[in-house]
Chains A and B, each alone.
Chain A
Amino acid sequence: MSIWEYANPVKFMQTSGWLLPWVFGATVLTLVPGLVWGFFFTPLAEEFGATVKVIYVHVPAATLAINIWVMMLVTSLIWLIRRHHVSALAAKAAAPIGMVMTLIALITGALWGQPMWGTWWEWDPRLTSFLILFLFYLGYMALWEAIENPDTAADLTGVLCLVGSVFAVLSRYAAIFWNQGLHQGSTLSLDSEEHISDVYWQPLVLSIVGFGLLFVTLLLLRTRTEIRSRRLKALEQRERMA
């Protein structure tokens, strides 16, 4: 492996450097209005009272927590098949963001569950699956940290991500079987009959888009950092060899 394989990363650095301000701008333009709208200008729900406002942080975080894992699965597959270094580094960069999102979903869910269900924590299938997802994120990140050779680490975490995905889905269905839940059904559906009423739906969609763009911004930043850190390591190694 030589650092000259970094032709692709150079291209990535250029493109992402150009893209970053735009994505950041779009994040600010959606996240701030979405959250402000959700917090200040939504009516109280009959059933839930003011606690309905929690969904503007809970649902976007939970949506992202799952989708980030899916994104890591895709980038891991690309790395294992096509061996693009950037792809593996993007998966590595995404994991901590996904972990924080899972944590947010768990914490806001617990805070919301206290007045609504009368308990901080319930062994409900959705909650349980999220806890397991959190453990998978921890294991994935720990494996990255533990292995020194970056290519070996990328390969092994990639395989772990594949196997982990299968078992995360399995655990989800096992948990549904194991305990019928308290958790609300899906709040999100493109079918307007099914989803919650528009007053809540519109700011929620804006918040979700904002969270998504925030993820993209952070992902670009972190992937750039990972690429720089890899190049730094390669340069140091070359210096030592010389």
Chain B
Amino acid sequence: MIPDLGKYTVTILGSWGATLALLAALIVLTLIRGAQVKRALEAQEKRMKKNG
């Protein structure tokens, strides 16, 4: 499946791997923080509505 990269396999797979890993980490962290904040905000709004 992976094309023949010759002696540069480590270089190429390494840099692609590092890139994809960093991007994945960024995306996951963005989504997690987004979900957390959204949940907290909804809880807060609900509480304030209840208490007037």
Contact = CB atoms under 8 A, between A and B. Distances in A.
B25 to A, nearest CB: 8
A51 B8 contact: yes
A57 B3 contact: no
B35 to A, nearest CB: 9
Most buried by A among B12, B23, B41, B45: B12
B15 A57 contact: yes
Chain A contact residues: helix, strand, loop or mixed:
helix
Contacts of A96: 26
B26 A235 contact: no
Given A49-B6, A111-B11, A225-B33, A39 B26 contact: no
Interface string A224-242: 1100110110011011000
Contacts of A57: 15-16, 19
Contacts of A53: 5, 12, 16
B23 A214 contact: yes
B26 A111 contact: no
Interface string B2-30: 01111111011011101100110111001
Contact of B11 (A40, A112, A222, A231): A112
Contact of A221 (B6, B30, B41): B30
Chain B contact residues: helix, strand, loop or mixed:
helix
Contact of A222 (B14, B19, B34, B41): B34
A218 B27 contact: yes
Interface string A100-143: 10011001100110110000000000000000000000000000
Interface string A33-71: 000000110001000011101100110010000000000
B34 A49 contact: no
29 contacts: A44-B6, A50-B4, A50-B12, A51-B11, A53-B5, A53-B12, A54-B11, A58-B15, A97-B26, A104-B18, A107-B19, A108-B18, A108-B19, A111-B15, A112-B15, A114-B11, A115-B7, A115-B8, A115-B11, A218-B27, A218-B30, A225-B33, A225-B34, A225-B37, A225-B38, A231-B41, A232-B40, A232-B44, A235-B41
